[in-house]
Amino acid sequence: MTLVTALVCAALAGALAPAAIAQQNLPQMGEPADSALSPIEERRLGAEFMRQIRAQLPLVRDTQLDEYIQALGTRLALASGKSDGRGFTFFIIDSPEVNAFAIPGGYVGIYVGLIDVMAREEQLAGVVAHEVAHVTQRHHARAFQTGKNASLGTAAAVLAAIVIGVASPEAGQAALAAGLAASQQRAINFTRSNEIEADRIGIEILANAGFDPSAMAESFGNLRRRNNLNTAGLNLEYLRTHPLDDNRIAEAADRAAALPRQDATDGVDYDLFRARLDVLTTDDQGALERAAKARNARRANPGDTYTLALLALGSNRLDTARQHLDALNDMHEEHPSVALLDVQWLAQSGARSAALERLAELDALYPGRYSIVEQRSELLIEARRLAESRDVLLRYLRDAAPIDPDAWRALANVRQRLGDSAGSHEALARWFEALDELERAESQLQLALRHVPIGSQDELRLQASLNGMRTRITQQQ
């Protein structure tokens, strides 16, 4: 383990406490600096952060929502020209804070509160493109260069201040003011100076991805308006780590004006995504339903109709849900999110066979879409068709690229139900491996070995996997 990684991990142990992490911001640091932190080290460091995030933050855990945000982020990462898209992980945090962040290694988090501020897909894409630019330009690396160029004590203090700032901006600033002085202040200055570069690159990414490049300035305007409406008198969390002034908004608008204007998307994907996110994260479903009904009465639209259908299904009002689903099918019958809602209605109505037939059709129509595979596997388990459920998951894991790591966990569950303990532990090992939890993957492979005959092909295969895992763990230390 490098000095930088060791220092950050030590700071993480104390700084990312459960009470503090809920208020976290993850600031972007520095400029491209390959000599400070190699891409491999950066990925390793990001994985350390991400393990803490998964353990401590209230992540939105819904396959359809994950698919949307990952697809949007991957589209933007590909448009950067510096990534094949597979090195990025995008996730949503269930918090009303208006915030987003990138951390080393291509992990990008977006808060529910920020999504709520963005009226259309291009605006959300503008924020995500900005964060992607921080990663592709390697703005984190210079912060670690600051630490490496200083004494051990200063390096530790700089990194501790960075991580403390992750959990609490005020605490991070206090730590800097308490005695870190010039080198630490330079790290903060790099953060602010590189916002402009991330804007410029982000606007290019938007245009390359086929989005309206003016959406970047629009997203800034939305954030400024929401901040002005903030009665608490404090800046939005996003604006604390992404300083925003009139010049920056004007420059973003000018840069976008110099690029070819793109036609806006129809917005249906975003409307359905927002509707599902609202239903799954609201604290007051009654108020959400009343508001959706009122808007739909004035002008029927896919987002509010989806909201009403999903809420009705959630409370098992099947007749009401059917009415909204019929209206939704009239608008967008072929949309996979609408089709999956229809499948849910069939299953809740007792028509499990019809639901499974429809899922098989959707699986063939949208190959590699895990939200379909997941629902199909779960319904097969409910029907006690365990071997079929296993085969559906195995086919997805064999053919899809990239895969959703949760498919490994689902496979572990169905294998355990089938009495295949070795296969269950092996699948869990693959799941932990996909999450960069290599030590836990190693433990699962060890457990799998206990359930196979000595000298068998399964033992040889598992032992080879275990040896490879141990080699990877050693390389990280």
Q: How confident is the model at residue 136 (pLDDT cuts 50, 70, 90)?
A: confident
> With bands split at pLDDT 50, 70 and 90, how would you rate the model's confidence at 311?
very high
Token couple for 274: 């927002």
DSSP percent split of the chain into helix, strand, coil, nearest 5: 70, 5, 25
Give residue for tokens 């492979």. 445
Are residues 204 and 336 located together in one domain of the fold?
no
In the annotation, is 458 catalytic? no
pLDDT at 10 over 50: no
Range of 464's domain? 420-477
Whole-number mean pLDDT of the chain? 82
Residue 341 confidence (pLDDT) above 90: yes
User: pLDDT for 114-128, tens place per residue?
Assistant: 999 999 999 999 999
Pick from 267, 144, 124: nearest CA to 202? 124
Instruction: Quickly tell me which residue has 């259908």 as its tokens.
Output: 309
What's the half-sphere exposure (Cβ side, CA atoms, 13 Å) at 236? 24
Point out which residues pair with 108 in neighbouring strands: 90, 102
Give the domain-ending residue among 316, 335, 350.
350
Residues 19 and 96 in one domain: yes
Q: Answer yes or no: do 74 and 126 share one domain.
A: yes
Is 270 found in the same domain as 229? no
Residue 406 located in a structural domain: no
Same domain? 66 vs 212: yes
Mean pLDDT, range 348-355, rounded to an integer: 97
Residues 185 and 159 in one domain: yes
Listed residues 334, 350, 366: the one ending a domain: 350
Annotated active-site residue in 131, 204, 271, 404: 131
Pair 37, 3: CB distance under 8 Å: no
- Bridge partner list, 103: 107
Single-letter amino acid code for the residue at 106: G
pLDDT by residue (tens digit) across 163-186?
444 444 444 444 444 433 344 344
Q: Among 98, 205, 197, which Cα is nearest to 142's?
A: 197
Mean pLDDT of 197-210: 91
Contact 92, 110 (CB under 8 A): yes
Would residue 27 count as lying in a domain?
yes
User: For residue 212, is pLDDT > 60?
Assistant: yes
Assess whether 341 and 424 both reside in one domain: no
Q: Is the whole model's pTM more than 0.75, yes or no?
A: yes
pLDDT at residue 235, rounded to an integer: 57
CA 328 to CA 340: how far, in whole Å? 12
156 and 291 in a single domain? The answer is no
Band of the pLDDT at 387, cuts 50, 70, 90?
Answer: very high
Quickly list DSSP for 387-408.
HHHHHHHHHHHHH-SS--THHH
Number of folded domains in the chain? 3
From 53, 60, 48, select the one nearest 22 (Cα to Cα): 53
Per the residue annotation, which of 42, 48, 199, 212 is the catalytic one?
199
Using CA of residue 152, residue 153, residue 156, residue 161, what is the dihedral sign?
negative
* Residue pair 302/332 in contact by the 8 Å Cβ criterion: yes
- Please tell me whether residues 97 and 145 are part of one structural domain: yes
Q: Whole-angstrom Cα distance, residue 101 to residue 110?
A: 7
Which structure tokens are listed for 72? 């949007």
Pair 128, 78 in one domain: yes
**251 — pLDDT class (breaks 50, 70, 90):** confident
Residues 135 and 192 in one domain: yes
Asked about 289 being catalytic, the answer comes back as no
**DSSP code for 127:** H
